[in-house]
Amino acid sequence: MFKGIYNWIDERLDITPMWRDVADHEVPEHVNPAHHFSAFVYCFGGLTFFITVIQILSGMFLTMYYVPDIINAYASVDYLQHKVAFGGIVRAMHHWGASLVIVMMFLHTLRVFFTGSYKAPREMNWVVGMLIFFIMLGLGLTGYLLPWDNKAYFATKVTLQIAESVPYLGPYIKELLNGGEIVGAQTLTRFFAIHVFFLPGALLALLAAHFFMIRKQGISGPL
Amino acid sequence: MAHGHNSKEKVVFVGDSRVKKNSMVNIPPDFTSFPGKSEAFIPYFLLKEWMVGVVVLVGFLVLTIAHPAPLGYPADPMNAAFIPMPDWYFLFMYQLLKYPYVSGDYVVLGVMGIPGLAFGALLLAPFLDTGKERRFYRRPIASSLMLLSLISCVYLTKVSWDHYQHQLEESGTKPEHIVREEKAREAYEKGQPAPSAVKRAKPVAIVAEDDPAYGLIKQNCMACHATDLNGGSGIPALRGIGDQFSLEELHDVVTNGNGNMPAFKDKLSTAEIDQIATWLSKQKKAAE
Ligand code: HEM
């Protein structure tokens, strides 16, 4: 039956070439841990993606309960953590996943660096990768404020003070993130918007570029 | 037909649509250039990857159950004793800014100079290290710079963390999420419901509004403490004041004043102040 559905769609949209582009390729021996155990270092990119998917899914569930305003933010997180069935697990997944994704991304970056895979013709993909890196740090920074507990509040205050000390632009960056003079209601809604819409949007676009380039160029050859 | 298969046309269209006929046939990149046994991504390799993924996922879920995400107490901007700490992966930058030549007058070096140089070099690595050689041991400069930065990041992170632990010890504080957890466990062991950290600002009702003392309050106090006795702009509310102060304390505040609160010993008789203080001490939040 699936074959039938596939053929029906294929007749109309000719999706076979697309399918080939996306999925139909070979995995060479030197990156396959089944052949050389040390090739597990090539798995870090895939694992980063796996955790990123977990982050996106768990984050989507978190927003079903989270309320981004200074009176209810903490209460909604508290409720999610202690009252909602499996809420604690979803929150823990997002919390620990945020650290894990950084670790995996770090290892992936080191793999690419030490295997010299950033060299021609993959320069652009390295630059895109670094942009992803910054986006990930931005996600960590903005997400940290959202539970609106003391740890979140004071860390953000310090971060914004540091941002302010950047020459010339500092005060503007601070005001943009702060949404005013103090870390308060505006800051929380801004950080929420950045964490949930702006950065994930940019992340998805960059990931698409990343994967497109990997498919186009293939994985780098053996050393 | 408007656009038939005229081979003189530069662009050939499919059927009578405007979809361009693709001259390139989609052939996946050839891997025969790699030596050894390659394997189809779908389904064989993906299946193995998925099996590893499942093991990782189970391990991860065990972690989430064993270690719930921490949650402290609600943000209180007036809390001056709180030791701010960013997430662990920012600690190296946080620590960097504590050293004399990258803070204070030289802060530009700390927030822009060093991180800018390090991350800039990382961002532009392919354009700085343009040699053909890929093996790290044949690229001593790039590799040693990377190793050096790694070691410094680990070192800075560790110093920052140790300093935090030291600060906690010195000030005798425990991180709030741990305090909360301990309180919840205590309550659980005693069979009580877990204490909630969420303060619901329930309006506190005024008690004994028909008391003659309320008339005195209206005359003397509402100008500052607001007609609804909720206070405002630095002036404390008088609703629920009996929960915070004893009768004697209230008597004293009204008699002698306190800071910006004027003394009433010259304006009111002792009997009147007695009445007021007694009335204030009755202002307690109704039992839930
Ligand atoms: C969300 C973050 C990221 C994801 C999901 C991701 C995913 C991947 C995947 C699946 C691959 C295939 C090879 C492998 O798995 O090792 C790859 C390759 C690559 N990645 Fe990433 N990556 C991420 C971040 C980065 C970062 C931060 C960098 C470096 C700045 C980077 C640079 C590269 C380069 C240059 C390649 C090509 C390597 C080669 O052909 O050998 N990526 N990425």
pLDDT at A117: 94
Helix (H, G, I), strand (E, B) or coil at B195: coil
| CATH level 3 topology of B82-200 | Helix Hairpins (1.10.287)
The CATH number of whichever domain residue A84 belongs to comes to: 1.20.810.10
**Could you tell me if B145 lies within 8 Å of chain A, comparing CB atoms?**
no
* B22's tokens: 């693709």
Please state the domain count of chain A: 1
Show the domain range for A145: 36-217
Which of these ranges, A2-11, A77-86, B277-286, has the smallest mean pLDDT?
Answer: B277-286
Superfamily assignment of B213-281 in CATH? Cytochrome c-like domain (1.10.760.10)
Q: Does any domain span residue A85? A: yes
| Confidence band of B59 (pLDDT split at 50, 70, 90) | very high
pLDDT at B77: 84
Of A137, A101, A93, A74, the closest CA to residue B176 belongs to A74
Choose the closest CB to B68 out of A92, A116, A155: A92
pLDDT at B165: 96
Q: Does any domain span residue A27? A: no
> Alpha carbon A50 to chain centroid distance?
10
pLDDT at B66: 94
pLDDT tens across B244-254, in order? 888 898 999 99
How far is the C-alpha of B211 from the C-alpha of B63, rounded, in Å? 60
Choose the closest CB to A158 out of B65, B84, B88: B84
Inform me whether the pLDDT recorded for A221 exceeds 90: no
Q: Does any domain span residue A86? A: yes
pLDDT at A216: 84
How far is the C-alpha of B264 from the C-alpha of A75, rounded, in Å? 42
| Confidence band of A195 (pLDDT split at 50, 70, 90) | very high
Query: What pTM does this model have?
Result: 0.75
| Confidence band of A104 (pLDDT split at 50, 70, 90) | very high
| Residues of A in Cβ contact (< 8 Å) with B134 | 115-117, 119, 220, 223
Nearest residue on chain A to B135, judged by CA atoms?
Answer: A115
| Confidence band of B1 (pLDDT split at 50, 70, 90) | very low
Q: Does any domain span residue A12? A: no
ipTM: 0.91
Instruction: Locate the domains of chain B by residue range.
Output: 82-200, 213-281
Of A138, A117, A146, the closest CA to residue A206 belongs to A138
CB contact (8 A) between residue B194 and residue A91: no
Give percent above pLDDT 90 in chain A: 72
Task: Give the pLDDT mean for A127-136.
Answer: 97
Out of A27, A112, A124, A223, give the residue to mutate to test ligand 1, the one with the largest number of ligand atoms within 8 Å of its CB.
A112
Task: Give the pLDDT mean for A111-128.
Answer: 94
Q: Does any domain span residue A134? A: yes
pLDDT tens across B4-53, in order? 455 565 666 666 656 666 665 555 556 666 667 888 888 888 898 899 89
Q: Does any domain span residue A80? A: yes
